[in-house]
Copies of this chain bind each other. A is one copy, B any other.
Amino acid sequence: MTEDRTPQHDEPESRFLSGYDPHAFAPAAVTVDVVALTIRPEAGTGETGARRTGTPHVLLTRRAAHPQRGRWALPGGFVRAEDGPDGPADPDLPDAALRVLSEKTRLPTELHLEQLGTYGARGRDPRMRVFSVAHMLLAPDLPDPHSGRDTEEAAWVPWSELGHGEGSRAGRDLAFDHGRILADAVERARSKLEYTALATAFLPSAFTITALREVYQAVWGRTLHAANFHRKILATPGFVEDTGELAEHGGSGGGRRARLYRAGGAALLHPPLLRSTQ
């Protein structure tokens, strides 16, 4: 299509490519790491009867192999650049992220996966230069994970047990620079809830406004005024659309049955739903 722009030099591109040796470059590895976030009832809090509103959890694995054996880490693995003995190449980075995650837990049909960023500082992995493409995955209440190859243990860990970001509340410290990656993911999720309809990714296909508010409350870690939230959601075009149905049952204590909504078409919220500054 742009043949006319090619300069009239000697060597055609096809001949150049056949003489190319990919191994001439310094070795560098590309991995994917996945910050899988879901909202599930806090483990251990065995309240019976009372409403379980759920808290955000992240999927962590304990490394069974060197380096950093025994430490908690994000699920991840090497990207398959070409077809090889381990299996076919990953067509793109999201495919690689879903592949490494599917070794740890069963993936739902509806999920949100986005790239967070790439971490490639020298020395972050002692083996060699490793460039790690971090992803963030959001999904409704995922089941308990199973261990995989190279993994001793895998578990959903509540955010409250981690020292993510501000303050030096030590928490579990993660292998490599995974603590930083996790902190970046949490901040990204919190921020995207303001400007996008991302919160619905934590919920099943039909949900109530209250459930949506509880997602915001869980991720932001603060309570919201229920009536104002309700008004705002319904006033934001394309955020949710009415299914016409009602929720099954309001729990043990009775109460009006909530209307069920599904995610609307809008990806961006106009105007945004800001965390108030107070």
Contact = CB atoms under 8 A, between A and B. Distances in A.
Interface of A: 1-2, 5-7, 9, 11, 13, 16-17, 20, 22-23, 25-30, 66-71, 78-82, 84, 89-93, 115, 117-118, 120-122, 126-129, 131, 133, 152, 173, 195, 270-272, 274, 277
A146 B60 CA distance: 48
Contacts of A173: 1-2
Contacts of A133: 118, 120, 131
A11 to B, nearest CB: 7
Contacts of A23: 23, 27
B67 A131 contact: no
Number of copies: 2
Given A5-B71, A120-B92, A126-B17, A271 B274 contact: yes
B27 A81 contact: yes
Residue from A1, A78, A90, A120 whose CB has the most chain B CB atoms within 10 Å? A120
Residue from A9, A118, A195, A270 whose CB has the most chain B CB atoms within 10 Å? A118
B69 A7 contact: yes
Contacts of A271: 274
B122 A92 contact: yes
A220 to B, nearest CB: 14
Nearest to A133: B118
Nearest to A170: B1
A16 B66 contact: yes
B27 A30 contact: no
A71 B2 CA distance: 8
12 contacts: A6-B70, A9-B69, A13-B126, A20-B128, A22-B127, A26-B80, A28-B29, A92-B122, A117-B117, A120-B133, A270-B277, A271-B274
Nearest to A93: B120
